[in-house]
Amino acid sequence: MAQTRLDVLSCVEHERLAFELLEVRTRGQYLTQLRGISREEQAEWDRRERAALALLVDHELEHGCGR
C-alpha cells in the first residue's frame, strides 16, 4: 500500500518536474493577485504552465511513475 507511494516519491525527475509545475502555478497566481497582470502576461504564464504540465505528463507516460 505505502509501497506505491514510495515508488513515486523515489523518482527524482518526477519530483523535479512536479515542483516546477507547482512553482509556475504559484508564481502566476501570486503575480495575478499581487498587481493584476496584463492579458499578454497571463497568456505567457498559461503557456508556461501548459509546457510544465506537458513535461510532467510525458515523463509519467514514458517512465510509468505517474500511478
- Near Zn ion by CB under 5 A: residue from 16, 47, 50, 63: 63
Q: Which residue's C-alpha cell is 503575480?
A: 31
Cell 515523463, located at residue: 59
The alpha-carbon radius of gyration of the chain (Å, integer) is 15
Helical packing angle, 39-63 and 12-35, nearest 10°: 170
Binding track over 6-45 against Zn ion, x by CB under 5 A: -----x--x-------------------------------
Between 47 and 63, CB nearer to Zn ion: 63
Binding-site ranges for Zn ion (CB under 5 A): 11, 14, 63, 65
